[in-house]
Amino acid sequence: MWVMTRTDKEVIFWESLTGSRHVHLKDGQPVTYKYTHVGCVFNDSTFYANVQTTDQVQHCVFDLDDEAKWKPMSTMKMKLIKKQPAMALHASTIDVVALEEALEASLINLIQEHRDSLGLTCAWNTDFGYLLAQALCSYEHQKCFGVVIDNRYFESAVKAHVRDGYTFKGYPMQFAHSNERRMFSAFMQSRTCKDIVEAVGQVATHCVRVKCFVYAENVVSVWVMLAVRFKGTPDS
């Protein structure tokens, strides 16, 4: 669902979350945007059903006064429609900080056990996690609002903490659950994450950072960043 405004000259679509605008037609030609089909148009007092031969947005005509294209619903019938009571959403009861700390500790243990099984030592850099958290917040914001965040400050901070002659590798993953074993299984199915978990190098240190974003009804978005810093180049 999106917002539409009309004037005598143009039809404009608005993305309600970001405020971005898209002109329906530019110089009489369809414009590329993410809206594909439209079945109806409505506001607080009117409702129009799309009865055109196609419901593809690019080919629709938005002349709502043309009943051959838009079938209006009787205003009398609309008044008879019984309004549904507003449904209240329950606030989240999740302790975000406790969940993040528990997941980080569990994932560190799982990675440690996996490296031990391969005969690999493992050192952890907890200070680096504060930098990774900045990137994870940006990723969630981008997912929610579709706005690309400038990560130059994050990249500059990473470069400042990775000395000359060292290599940094990091990879984020998003989950809609808080099961650490399922997360670890997903890591090991990703070639990039598996390489980070099993990385071998001089003075290699690993880091795991978890950021949880909770929403109504205890819906949770969990972002995990796995990272490793080691001396040398990726191919050395």
Q: pLDDT band for 233, please (50, 70, 90 cuts).
A: low
Q: Give 115-175 as a DSSP string.
A: HHHTT----B-STTHHHHHHHHHHHHHHHHH-PPP--HHHHHHHHHHS-TTEEEEEEEEEE
Residue 20 confidence (pLDDT): 80
What does pLDDT average to over the chain? 88
pLDDT in tens, 60-91: 999 999 999 999 998 888 888 887 787 888 99
pLDDT in tens, 146-169: 777 777 888 888 888 887 888 899
Q: pLDDT band for 234, please (50, 70, 90 cuts).
A: low
Share of the chain above pLDDT 70, in %: 97
Residue 95 confidence (pLDDT): 96
The residue ranking higher by pLDDT, 164 or 229, is 229
pLDDT in tens, 34-64: 888 999 999 888 999 999 999 999 889 999 9
Looking from the CA of 135 toward its CB, the CA atoms found within 13 Å total 25
Inter-residue contact 173 to 187 (CB < 8 Å): yes
CA distances from 31 to 50, 57, 236 (A): 20, 10, 49
**For residue 105, what are its two tokens?**
């500790």
**Side chain identity at residue 200, one-letter code:** V
Is the confidence at residue 207, as pLDDT, over 80? yes
Is the confidence at residue 17, as pLDDT, over 80? no
Is the confidence at residue 236, as pLDDT, over 50? no
The residue ranking higher by pLDDT, 32 or 194, is 194
pLDDT in tens, 100-144: 999 999 999 999 999 999 999 889 988 888 889 989 998 998 888
